[in-house]
Structure 1
Amino acid sequence: MTVSPIRKVFQGVADRRQMFAMFDRHAQRPDRRPDDGRSLYAGEWFEIGQAEHDYMFEVLPPVCLAVDMFAMREFLTRSVTSVFFTSWIDGRARYFHGYCDLADINSGRRMREAIVERESRPVRAMTRQERLEHIWSSTHDDYRGYAGERWPAPDRGKRTVMVYGGQHGSTSKLLDGLTDREISEKLPVHLRYLPDAIAA
């Protein structure tokens, strides 16, 4: 599974429990090794509250990258680590977590710019990919996973989620293959009817 561009992975402000759950959204990936997740994690970001931001600042002595931006000293994988941002958007301070690849010294700046651009849009909207990422982030580990040996070879390793199939019961389906109806059913009510955003 190859990803990597900067992408929002959760709608709304994550509380502490949600934040810790999203720190490792890909924990169940097959053949997990400590050095194999750079393309999965680098570029992911979501909003957190000030209390969560301040808590993470005090966990370990941080690596300060710039004004209102610090990184964790412990790396998730290779050169990818958690970076925490404070950004002023529409006249108020907001707080964000993102995974940046510090092998690229400009990755934090680019992520901050992408976050501010995305969160400064006047109309609340979500792209299809943001909807899928929110579903993945908010689905419990028991109901999401990765396509294994029983799947056709081209689909193996892709993300799957459980969907309710009516009389046929629940079944596992590729996340990227969810229909618009299935996506709507899996989103919380307050996100179901947001307009589609055009991906940047």
Structure 2
Amino acid sequence: MTPSSIRKVYQGIADRRQMFRMFDRHPQRPNRSPDDGALYCGEWFEIGQADHDHMFEILPPLWIRADMFAMREFLTGSISSVFFALRIDGQPRCFHGYCDLRDQGSPDRMRAAIIERESRPVKVMTREERLEHIWSSTHDDYRGYAGERWAEHLRGERTVLFYGGHRGTVLKLLDQLTDAEIAAKLPVHLRYLPDTIAA
């Protein structure tokens, strides 16, 4: 349960309901504490222009730069929402990300990572992005964290319910889903995207 680094957590443009739901993608995490910032820091996803503008109007921002602003309210510790209005391949697009505002370079690194990831000429999804999309789009009732019934070294790892055919519904560790299980959990339009761009 220790993600960090900058990572895309949802494929496509999140609608308003999904956006608010993804503001806390880890509500069931065990041993919640104000020090859970590493779990959120670096997560980003695309939103619509109207939702970007809506968030700008909720409260006066903590700060504004040319193509980004930070929310005044912090999620946990020094982690706060940063909203980006970027031009990628000539198209205006908007994004939300969680940055550690103790690190002044954090928003700029996220901005660069978003532009690099979204400027790829072909739609692709890495295995990690597929798993994050599954986690983001699975209802809270069907995802959670490994508890006391799991081996001690697995406790706290993310889990999802998976329909296992003749075995019925099975609780599986998210990062141990097979490629076939990942494909079954993804929406049809995302199942067959390549993992990498051919050279």
Q: Considering the TM-score relative to the shorter chain, is it more than 0.5?
A: yes
Instruction: Give the SS at the match of 1:29.
Output: coil
Measure, in 1, the Cα distance between the counterparts of 2:166 and 2:43: 37
Other-structure match for 1:194: 193
Look up the equivalent residue of 2:71 and give its one-letter code: M
TM-score (structure 1 length as normaliser): 0.97
Look up the equivalent residue of 1:89 and give its one-letter code: I
Higher mean C-alpha displacement, 175-184 vs 162-171: 162-171
Instruction: Give the SS at the match of 1:76.
Output: strand
Instruction: Give the SS at the match of 2:74.
Output: coil
Instruction: Give the SS at the match of 2:72.
Output: coil
**Correspondence list, 1:1-200, <5 A:** 1-33=1-33, 35-197=34-196
TM-score (structure 2 length as normaliser): 0.97
Note the residue ranges of structure 2 that are not aligned, 5 or more in a row.
none
- Report how far residue 68 of structure 1 moved: 1.6
- Report how far residue 92 of structure 1 moved: 1.2
Instruction: Give the SS at the match of 1:112.
Output: helix
Instruction: Give the SS at the match of 2:183.
Output: helix
Look up the equivalent residue of 1:180 and give its one-letter code: D
Structure 1 residue runs of 4+, over 2 Å off? none
Instruction: Give the SS at the match of 1:74.
Output: strand
Measure, in 1, the Cα distance between the counterparts of 2:79 and 2:89: 30
- Report how far residue 80 of structure 1 moved: 0.2
- Report how far residue 86 of structure 1 moved: 0.5
Look up the equivalent residue of 2:61 and give its one-letter code: P
Measure, in 2, the Cα distance between the counterparts of 1:80 and 1:159: 21
Measure, in 2, the Cα distance between the counterparts of 1:197 and 1:131: 13
Matched residues, number: 197
Instruction: Give the SS at the match of 1:185.
Output: helix
Look up the equivalent residue of 2:21 and give its one-letter code: A
Deviations 1:52-103 (A, max 9, x none): 0000001111122411210110100000000000110011110000000000
Instruction: Give the SS at the match of 1:12.
Output: strand
Look up the equivalent residue of 1:13 and give its one-letter code: I
Measure, in 2, the Cα distance between the counterparts of 1:8 and 1:110: 14
- Report how far residue 171 of structure 1 moved: 1.1
Measure, in 1, the Cα distance between the counterparts of 2:36 and 2:60: 24
- Report how far residue 48 of structure 1 moved: 0.1
Measure, in 1, the Cα distance between the counterparts of 2:166 and 2:35: 40
Look up the equivalent residue of 2:17 and give its one-letter code: R
Note the residue ranges of structure 1 that are not aligned, 5 or more in a row.
none
Measure, in 2, the Cα distance between the counterparts of 1:36 and 1:170: 34
- Report how far residue 163 of structure 1 moved: 0.3
Identity level (%):
71
